[in-house]
């Protein structure tokens, strides 16, 4: 969509851009069910979800959202059939390749949270390359939650604190060790 299209949508909806939230989150859920309801393969639903979230990211940046988190792949998603997981990893790579120029043009900075150690090397490399290439961008900060789970994040934070010899734990200290410490 063009900027003019977004301006028309914003004007038609009477969005007061001074009251836009600083941070919004999107949980990508229901794509497989959407496809099944239409008698399509599950990956068709994931592709549709990727297209929709791309439009949402663009719109969020246009109306002045500063931070956006997209929960794309939970730890529990590894329990899906291998073919579906492989298709999702391939889709992540395709979307990153196709959308990186747009992220650069819109000055979007990409950030990752989650346990990336289990992500296939090629997918992890694509994400890390995109994070590096967008690191100096100063627009919307787009955080992708990949192989993410809240309890896992807390467990990893505690392990980092123990490794660093933290003896006193308070809310501020825990926050410093969370994946989301920069949001």
- As annotated, the active-site residues are 29, 77
Give the span between the Cα atoms of 99 and 130, in whole angstroms. Answer: 10
Q: Copy the structure tokens of residue 124.
A: 């992890």
Residue showing tokens 């009251």? 19
Q: Which residues of 96-124 are buried (b: 16+ CB within 10 A; e: fewer)?
A: beebbeebeebebbbbbbbbeeebeeebb
Nearest to 149 by CA among 49, 67, 71, 70: 71
């Amino acid at each position: 969509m063009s900027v003019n299209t977004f301006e028309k949508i914003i004007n038609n909806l009477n969005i007061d851009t001074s009251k836009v939230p600083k941070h919004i989150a999107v949980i990508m859920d229901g794509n497989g069910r959407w496809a099944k309801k239409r008698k399509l393969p599950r990956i068709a639903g994931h592709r549709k979800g990727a297209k929709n979230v791309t439009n949402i990211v663009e719109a969020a940046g246009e109306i002045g959202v500063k931070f956006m988190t997209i929960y794309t792949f939970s730890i529990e998603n590894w329990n899906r059939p291998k073919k579906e997981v492989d298709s999702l990893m391939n889709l992540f790579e395709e979307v990153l390749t196709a959308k990186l120029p747009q992220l650069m043009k819109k000055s979007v900075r990409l950030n990752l949270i989650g346990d990336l150690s289990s992500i296939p090397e090629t997918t992890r490399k694509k994400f890390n390359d995109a994070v590096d290439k967008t690191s100096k961008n100063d627009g919307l900060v787009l955080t992708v939650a990949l192989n993410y789970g809240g309890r896992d994040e807390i467990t990893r934070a505690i392990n980092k604190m123990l490794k660093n010899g933290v003896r006193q734990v308070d809310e501020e200290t825990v926050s410093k060790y969370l994946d989301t410490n920069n949001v």
